[in-house]
Structure 1
């Protein structure tokens, strides 16, 4: 690959051929280098130059052909292709545009610091698709549809009122679907299993006609400090991030397009475009019961709920500055709740909000004694089951977060988050945390 930029000025097929040839040369140069952990500073500079040139070429192709490419991948918008499948179909149809399944499988085998950073190329593609009003809206709507797994489990859930997933338990009690996080050994932290299970659980709650309200709550955990206590969520599992087990498409972008958005806007179940949005979606109110703490992604989840109840000893935080990554749509949604100044203190300065702080009322509706949580949740379920709640929460979502605002924010997020996941400061932080944890474990073993 030369330093000269790739010039694209033809139709999509001609430009795709030029892109494939250009990127293939860069791949040959990368293959000639040692594996990432064994590269010298000079090797790393050469690899960075190859990646930079390939990404300039991809950006140039996407600037000219995103909508046409998306149309070809979706049969002229007649196929609903979910995001993970979309990126790999794009890799097959337009070689060099995004990484192949084989390339991503090789990446998944390495810790984050030892990867080539190919998820950045996925981020460029996803950002370009979302930036397009036509393609982006089609993708957003595709991701609001029920997951195949939920459709498979739906009849059983309707009959039994219970679905036990790997890390989530969904039970129907009266007219409420109680979704309990059960990633007990990890303080209900977000990992790839929990993200997938939550997408399924939210679908089941929204598809079951016997359910009028959803309730989210953390189950008891195994951590020595909190053993037996309920914990809402410890946020993203930073050990998994360090170990390279936080996939960009399925996790970091998928959670925003999936269950978080479904909770806010509803599940797309109605007829094809033509009717009002409210006629096309199944939407229900959601309650959050926060025991102990809601950190990172846990706090982000609270921002799409209709009623949040917190125990008096709980706290919430978005430690984005400490972790170094972007807190999902927290930057978009937190300002609506708290105002700009407090949002900056939380996101940029790492401010923690205790349930006893006056500011807690900006993100929590009720602060109750721990022993009063169950009763308060049931009272909230009865209040949110009123017939007019559904229509009004729909109109609130339309007013507060129009779909195009969501789409354009997510287009920027896709690129920024993919890049931050490979930033040197993030890699250094997660490695330091991992080493500290390993030292503590070694010390505990020696004492025993």
Structure 2
């Protein structure tokens, strides 16, 4: 891993720490470091949850505008595709991903946070997609993921004005799931809770919801049937049901024999 992104694993939770202060701007080096990180995580059987964190002062304030200003059409097509695909790979990880947001999550920073399954923000955090103020638009998933969270009209308003949204309003809109004085500690606590659960069942829930959102209802229901049937072949199913029958609900310790 390069110094721009650091990985740390504790209690089956992998922290992805952006490390390019003061703003964790997305330039080519940062994008490549994130791509390396998500590849490493996807290949790690011991990681059961992921926390995205930019440090105590700033999550990520977006792309390096100085670098963007030097791009023409040919350069931006390949560069943006690579960044978009990197964020999508985080979204497609088969484990829960939680963004711990401090300071600013703007432009590409907010788009990375939107690729997570959950967002925990500091009380003073500010989010936004201000690309329109540069004469461009969000290009790393923002137009699609934000609209799915808040609906098309509200998403258009936020992106067409480029206004910055404080954490409280972001929570009211459903962009942020939790607000905490220490979002990293809160995200870690939630991630540990999820990481201690039945890995394949949690993976199946994520797949059913994410794929089902973009499918006709009948296709989503078919996917749900297939996934639940597959879970009956897992050891976690054996552990969970044996524990319930022996000790009642909520007593199972997954990852151990039934």
Same fold (TM over 0.5): yes
1:335–1:374 distance in 2 versus 1, CA, 3 Å: closer
CA pair 396-253 structure 1, distance change in 2 beyond 3 A: same
2:54 is aligned to 218
Q: Call closer, same or farther: CA 1:359–1:289 in 2, change over 3 Å.
A: closer
Count of residue correspondences = 210
Aligned positions of 1:20-31 closer than 5 A: none
**Structure 2 CA distance for aligned equivalents of residues 209 and 286 of structure 1:** 15
Measured in 2, the distance between the counterparts of 1:242 and 1:358 equals 29
Question: Larger relative CO (CA 8 A, sep 6+): 1 or 2?
Answer: 2
Shift in Å at residue 243 of structure 1?
3.3
Quickly say closer, same or farther: Cα 1:205–1:376, change in 2 above 3 A. same
- Deviation digits for residues 360-418 of structure 1, max 9, x if unmatched? 5511110111xx3343122211232222211110111112246xxxxxxxxxxxxxxxx
Shift of 1:356: 2.0
Tell whether 2:131 aligns with 1:323.
Answer: no
Unaligned runs of 5+ in 2: 216-258
Check the 8 A contact 1:353/1:360 in 2, yes or no. no
Is it true that 1:345 corresponds to 2:157 in the alignment? Answer: yes
Provide the rounded CA distance (Å) in 1 between the counterparts of 2:184 and 2:62.
23
**Contact 2:150 2:173 (C-alpha < 8 Å) held by counterparts:** no
Q: 2-side partners of 1:379 and 1:390: how far apart?
A: 19
Instruction: Pick from 164, 172, 191 the counterpart of residue 381 of structure 1.
Output: 191
Quote the Cα distance in structure 2 between the aligned partners of 1:359 and 1:172. 28
Secondary structure of the structure 2 residue equivalent to 1:348: helix
Tell me, what secondary structure is at the counterpart of 2:168? coil
- Structure number with higher strand proportion: 2
Partner of residue 199, structure 1: 35
- Residue 354 of structure 1 contacts residue 360 of structure 1 at CA under 8 Å; is this kept in 2? no
- Alpha-carbon distance in 1 for matches of 2:79, 2:51: 22
Distance in 2 separating the partners of 1:292 and 1:373: 11
Whole-Å Cα distance in 1 between the matches of residues 180 and 84 of structure 2? Answer: 29
Distance 1:392 1:292 in 2: 31
1:131-142, aligned counterparts within 5 Å? none
Over 3 Å counting, the alpha-carbon distance change for 1:175 and 1:250 in structure 2 is farther
How far did residue 305 of structure 1 move? 0.9
Report the structure, 1 or 2, having the larger helix content.
1
* Matching residue within 382, 390, 393 for 2:203: 390
Segments of 4+ in structure 1 off by > 4 A?
358-361
8 Å CA contact 2:113–2:119 kept in 1: the answer is yes
Give the superposed CA RMSD. 2.0
User: For 1:358 and 1:234, how far apart are their aligned partners in 2?
Assistant: 16
1:205-244 mapped onto 2 (5 Å cutoff): 205-219=41-55, 229-244=56-71
Residues 1:173 and 2:7 are matched in the alignment: no
Q: d(CA) in 2 for partners of 1:313 and 1:398?
A: 33
Q: 1:358 to 1:238 in 2, by over 3 A?
A: closer
Residues 23-102 of structure 1: matches in 2 within 5 Å?
none
SS in 2 for 1:378: helix
Q: Is the 8 A contact 1:264 1:397 kept in 2?
A: no
Determine if contact 1:166/1:193 at 8 Å carries over to the other structure: no
8 Å CA contact 1:180–1:216 kept in 2: the answer is yes
Conserved? CA contact 1:288–1:309, under 8 Å:
yes
TM-score (norm 2): 0.75
Does the Cα contact within 8 Å between 1:289 and 1:373 map onto a contact in 2?
Answer: yes
CA contact (8 A) 2:59 2:104 kept: yes
Mean Cα displacement is larger for which, 350-359 or 323-332? 350-359
SS of residue matched to 1:399: helix
Q: How does 1:266-305 map to 2 (within 5 A)?
A: 266=93, 283-305=94-116
From the superposition, tell whether residues 243 and 166 of structure 1 become closer, same or farther in structure 2 (CA, over 3 Å): farther
Are the counterparts in 2 of residues 168 and 181 from structure 1 also a CA contact under 8 Å? Answer: yes
Corresponding residue of 2:219: none
